[in-house]
Amino acid sequence: QVQLVESGGGSVQAGGSLRLSCVVSGYTVTYIRYCMGWFRQAPGKEREGVAVIDRGGSTSYADSVNGRFTISQDNAKNTLYLQMNSLKPEDTAMYYCAARAWGCFGRLLPGTNFDNWGQGTQVTVSS
């Protein structure tokens, strides 16, 4: 059974930084092909994709975070990261990591394409 556990959320002021982590267990991220991503959902809003990465390290980002956020992975640690810089109040949301045993196809796939999810970690950015 695949398990994803996020950590690293918290409260910061606008302009600050946070790094989220997601430890994956149950299957190795050195699997033949996979796509892993970060999603977020703010109160009263729909879930939106933030960034994805595939086995080869190819990434895709939402326009709203491009240039500020960086997704990365450490295969030896089976861990996915999201480095968030220059945070804005509109980045406030619950952040989830997700995984699927298929590729990303070079684009920010919607969450309905992922079948494994973490429990989420809260990020709050104050102005």
pLDDT 10s digits, 24-70: 987 655 566 789 999 999 999 999 999 999 988 999 999 999 999 99
Q: What CA–CA distance (Å, rounded) separates 12 from 45?
A: 21
What's the pLDDT at 33? 75
Q: Percent of the chain beyond pLDDT 90?
A: 81
- Calculate mean pLDDT across residues 108-119: 95
- Per mean pLDDT, which range of 25-29, 45-49, 77-81, 89-93 is the poorest? 25-29
Give the per-residue pLDDT at 64: 97
pLDDT at res. 12: 98
Helix (H, G, I), strand (E, B) or coil at 111: helix
